[in-house]
Amino acid sequence: MYYYEEKLKYIKSANEIITGRENERVQALQNQLEQLQNDNSRILNERDKALKEFASMRKLVESFEKKAETSTIEKLQNENLANSLRKEKNKLKSALKLQMAKEISDHSDDGE
């Protein structure tokens, strides 16, 4: 009987050791899982932040592109206006020269 009691104690002791090791493994796995969840949350937060920054930069780029397009259109309109004004100025100069030539001619005709 003593032999069986010792065997039972040995088995219980071994069982406690095994259970303790299993509990340690379970705790280690739970710690690892918690760390992975924390890492995942951190990565998701960084991703969300990066997406917001990307969206902000995209809006900024679109705004600059629109301003550049508007600026180019305004520049072309100003160039067209300047060309029209130059043409008008040249017409007026020509008309003024003709008028002056006519007046000189009229004075020359009157003086003869």
pTM of this structure: 0.51
Extended beta strands in 31-86, E state: none
Geometric angle at alpha carbon 82, from 76 and 85, rounded to 5°:
145
Spell out the per-residue pLDDT of the chain, length 112, in tens. 777 788 778 788 888 888 878 889 999 999 999 999 999 999 999 999 999 999 999 999 999 999 998 999 999 999 999 999 999 999 999 999 999 888 888 777 665 5
Q: What is the rounded distance in angstroms from the CA atom of residue 89 to the CA atom of residue 98?
A: 14
Task: Identify the pLDDT of residue 111.
Answer: 57
